[in-house]
């Protein structure tokens, strides 16, 4: 079991700053997701932690020991790659026991250890096949078995679910989360899928362009996104954004646009007072925080998309588009004019220039 800390970790490839000044603490037994869009530096971070890349700047520490110069084989890490990277010329059994063979574990222990992990991952009956004869899901479990058989201190997973079909992905999401909790191995999980990160991780570190945007529990990232980017990245359908200005009338703060105007609640107004440096701000409202049928703001129904569990309604307020999650079987006609209200305690406000939240 191990604590990991990244301290100002940077990895540059020539001019490309793949990872830039990343500082992150990971506790013993914690399940952390590295989340971000393609090319944001997730894999690079993982490979640097594993020891394949030497940090350009900064440090990787395993339980207080700086390991910048420790080769991968001495780090006792288990890793599952996006492509699974099984050894195509070896049977499943030989794939799983390969780390034991290299570590010179006596041969008589291989059988029991392999059977143990194989049982855990339900691949015991695949032992004699070669990887070419396995489905994607089976390959993934073999790769996981291979990484677990050496009882690693740290497990690194690089988009392990992205090659699976949608249904299997949902099953494996739960399985993997349960497995991690049962084994208690500190785990870093890379994904570009925010749902995967939200559902599985204890904490999420959201990266963009090599920089850490925010780290926190899934709820923290969802309820109080630190930047415009985080707000837009987390949640489906995504948060609605409108450029608005702040106005102070008789000691009350108002949000105004051409089309609507409303006062901020006291709690939010206090924070904004403290943080705001300009009147130009961006308002963010999640689709589920808008109610149709009450309130003073008026809009027109643009399109209605039934999703089964709820209904996605797109509204127009002047030139602005809003996505709203309405109850299932909610019926309105296209073109109909409706009233709507925002849940005042759940709105987000960001500085337009710095794109940072005004509510932190």
Partner 1 sequence: MWARARQWWNKVASYLVLGAVAAPFLTMYVSFFLRAFGKRMYLGVVPKEFGFANFQFLWRPIAWGLEQTTVWTALGNTVFFAVTSALAVTIICMLAGYALSRIEFRGKNFFLVLQLFLHAVPGQILLIAIFFLLFYIKLLHKIPGVALARASLEIPLGIWMAKGFFDGIPWDVERSAMIDGCTRFQVWYRVFLPLVKPGIAAVFIWGFLFAWHDFIYVYTLLPGTIKLMSTLIQSLLATEVIDYGYLAALSLIYMIPPLLLFVFLQRALLRVPVFGGKGV
Would you tell me which residues interact with ligand ATP (CB under 6 A)?
13, 16, 18, 36, 38-44, 192
Please identify which residue in the block is written with the tokens 């039934």. Answer: 306
Can you list the positions of beta strands (E) in the chain? 4-13, 16-26, 31-35, 57-62, 65-66, 77-80, 154-158, 186-191, 203-208, 211-216, 240-249, 252-256, 261-263, 280-285, 290-306, 311-317, 320-326, 337-342, 348-351
Tell me the per-residue interface mask from 119 to 138 with partner 1, x by CB under 8 A, - otherwise.
------------xx-x-x--
Count the site residues for partner 1 by CB under 8 A: 31
CB of residue 207 to Mg ion, shortest distance in Å:
11
How many residues are there in the chain? 360
Q: Does 43 bind Mg ion (CB under 5 A)?
A: yes
Q: Does 186 bind Mg ion (CB under 5 A)?
A: no
Measured from the CB atom, the residue of 50 and 317 that comes closer to ligand ATP is 50
What is the rounded CA–CA span in Å between residue 176 and residue 161? 10
CB of residue 187 to ligand ATP, shortest distance in Å:
17
Residue with nearest beta carbon to ligand ATP:
43
End-to-end CA distance of the chain: give it in Å, rounded.
33
CB of residue 12 to Mg ion, shortest distance in Å:
17
CB of residue 356 to Mg ion, shortest distance in Å:
27
What is the rounded CA–CA span in Å between residue 282 and residue 269? 14
Please identify which residue in the block is written with the tokens 């709507």. Answer: 340
Residue 79 interacts with, from Mg ion, partner 1, ligand ATP, none (CB under 5-8 Å by kind):
partner 1
Q: Does 83 bind partner 1 (CB under 8 A)?
A: yes
Q: Which of residues 163-222 bind partner 1 (CB under 8 A)?
A: 163
CB of residue 212 to ligand ATP, shortest distance in Å:
13
What is the rounded CA–CA span in Å between residue 266 and residue 162? 44
What is the rounded CA–CA span in Å between residue 128 and residue 114? 12
CB of residue 228 to ligand ATP, shortest distance in Å:
20
Q: Does 279 bind partner 1 (CB under 8 A)?
A: no
What is the rounded CA–CA span in Å between residue 339 and residue 295? 6
Q: Does 254 bind partner 1 (CB under 8 A)?
A: no
Measured from the CB atom, the residue of 146 and 203 that comes closer to partner 1 is 146
What is the rounded CA–CA span in Å between residue 356 and residue 322? 22
Residue 18 interacts with, from partner 1, Mg ion, ligand ATP, none (CB under 5-8 Å by kind):
ligand ATP
The pair of structure tokens assigned to 330 is 């909610």
Residue 263 interacts with, from ligand ATP, Mg ion, partner 1, none (CB under 5-8 Å by kind):
none
Could you count the other beta carbons within 10 Å of the beta carbon of residue 64? Answer: 7
Measured from the CB atom, the residue of 132 and 308 that comes closer to partner 1 is 132
Q: Which stretch binds Mg ion (CB under 5 A): 13-21, 42-50, 99-107, 274-282?
A: 42-50
CB of residue 174 to ligand ATP, shortest distance in Å:
23
CA-angle at 291, arms to 274 and 261, nearest 5°: 45
CB of residue 309 to partner 1, shortest distance in Å:
31
What are residue 337's DSSP bridge partners? 300
The 10 Å CB-count burial string (b at 16+, else e) for 136-168 is ebbbbbbbbbbbbbbebbbbbbbbbbeebeeeb
Measured from the CB atom, the residue of 41 and 218 that comes closer to ligand ATP is 41
Name the residues that contact partner 1, by CB under 8 A: 47, 50, 52, 71-73, 77-79, 81-89, 98-99, 102-103, 131-132, 134, 136, 139, 146-147, 150, 163
**Chain positions contacting Mg ion, by CB under 5 A:** 43
């Amino acid at each position: 079991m191990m604590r990991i800390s990244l301290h100002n970790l940077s990895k540059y490839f020539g001019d490309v700053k793949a990872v830039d000044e990343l500082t992150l603490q990971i506790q013993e037994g914690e399940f952390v997701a590295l989340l971000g869009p393609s090319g944001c530096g997730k894999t690079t971070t993982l490979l640097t932690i594993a020891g394949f890349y030497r940090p350009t700047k900064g440090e990787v520490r395993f339980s207080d020991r700086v390991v910048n110069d420790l080769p991968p084989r001495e780090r006792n890490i288990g890793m599952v790659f996006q492509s699974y990277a099984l050894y195509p010329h070896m049977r499943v059994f030989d794939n799983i026991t390969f780390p034991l063979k290299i570590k010179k574990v006596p041969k008589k222990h291989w059988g029991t250890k392999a059977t143990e992990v194989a049982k855990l991952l339900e691949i015991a009956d695949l032992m004699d096949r070669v990887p070419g004869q396995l489905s994607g899901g089976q390959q993934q479990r073999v790769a996981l078995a291979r990484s677990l058989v050496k009882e690693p201190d740290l497990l690194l997973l690089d988009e392990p679910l992205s090659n699976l079909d949608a249904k299997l992905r949902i099953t494996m999401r739960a399985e993997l989360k349960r497995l991690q909790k049962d084994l208690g191995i500190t785990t870093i999980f890379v994904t570009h899928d925010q749902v995967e990160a939200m559902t599985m991780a204890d904490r999420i570190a959201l990266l963009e362009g090599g920089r850490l945007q925010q780290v926190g529990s899934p709820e923290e990232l969802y309820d109080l996104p630190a930047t415009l980017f985080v707000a837009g990245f987390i949640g489906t359908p995504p948060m609605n954004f409108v450029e608005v200005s702040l106005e102070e009338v008789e000691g009350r703060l108002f949000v105004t646009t051409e089309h609507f105007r409303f006062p901020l609640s006291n709690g939010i107004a206090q924070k904004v007072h403290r943080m705001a440096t300009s009147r130009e701000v961006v308002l963010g409202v999640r689709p589920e925080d808008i109610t149709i049928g009450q309130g003073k703001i008026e809009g027109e129904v643009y399109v209605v998309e039934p999703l089964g569990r709820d209904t996605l309604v797109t509204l127009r307020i002047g030139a602005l588009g809003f996505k709203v999650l309405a109850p299932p079987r909610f019926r309105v006609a296209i073109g109909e004019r409706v009233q709507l209200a925002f849940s005042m305690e759940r709105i987000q406000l960001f500085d337009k220039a710095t794109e940072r939240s005004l509510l932190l």
